[in-house]
Chain A
């Protein structure tokens, strides 16, 4: 299983763009990169997923370089409500078919006014 490494914590201010980078040096060919967000006292919630290059949705962008050994979650213009723990996961589609996923410690993002 690919292991991920991400910063334990980050601070930001309202209105700023936040970039959280995750390292996954042992990512496999079939692995996708998925980010989840978790607020206190709630279960994690899916944010975005990608395989390579760039993916954008209504809440975030995900940048994946060609070697796919890292990925960067970009949150545009954060607000106080974006204060949460962000988890990076890698796992595969298709033939890898394993449900055992490692969430890791995540990155605690604190947005300040």
Chain B
């Protein structure tokens, strides 16, 4: 079946604007993850969902960041009042279940966010 998809693939916005990033996980995958990757850096964990629930939001960089997941499927990562330091590639992944790394994660192509 189809892999993880993300939209948009690229987003350029002005400082102070809000943005929404979308992730469509693989059908049937109960777990969904958001990561951020700045240029030349490793992956920074943001948040994960088990179904529609996000048990641990401590990875979100600030209260300008929020995420939700509906129907156990699509997830949206929202960044309010964007700042230049928010510029990065935002990656979404899904897995069959939450097993703390024991279940293979399938990654989407990412959304490249540029804040001017």
Contacts and interface: CB of A to CB of B under 8 A. Distances in A.
Contacts, number: 87
B98 interface: yes
A103 B56 CA distance: 17
- Report the contact-size class of chain B (Cβ under 8 Å from the partner): 20 to 34
B35 A90 contact: no
B59 interface: yes
A99 B33 contact: yes
B101 A89 contact: yes
Interface string A74-88: 000000000001010
Given A42-B109, A101-B33, A93 B100 contact: yes
Contacts of B56: 98-100
Contacts of B91: 43-44
A56 B108 CA distance: 26
Interface string B1-39: 000100000000000000000000000000101010000
Nearest to A33: B101
Main secondary structure of the interface of B (DSSP, over half): loop
A106 B43 CA distance: 9
Interface in B29-73: 31, 33, 35, 41-45, 48-50, 55-56, 58-59
B45 A100 contact: yes
Nearest to B49: A99
Interface string B79-116: 00000000000010100001111101111111000000
Interface string A39-81: 0011111100100000000000000000000000000000000
Contacts of B105: 36, 44, 46, 101
A26 to B, nearest CB: 14
Nearest to B107: A43
Contacts of B33: 99, 101
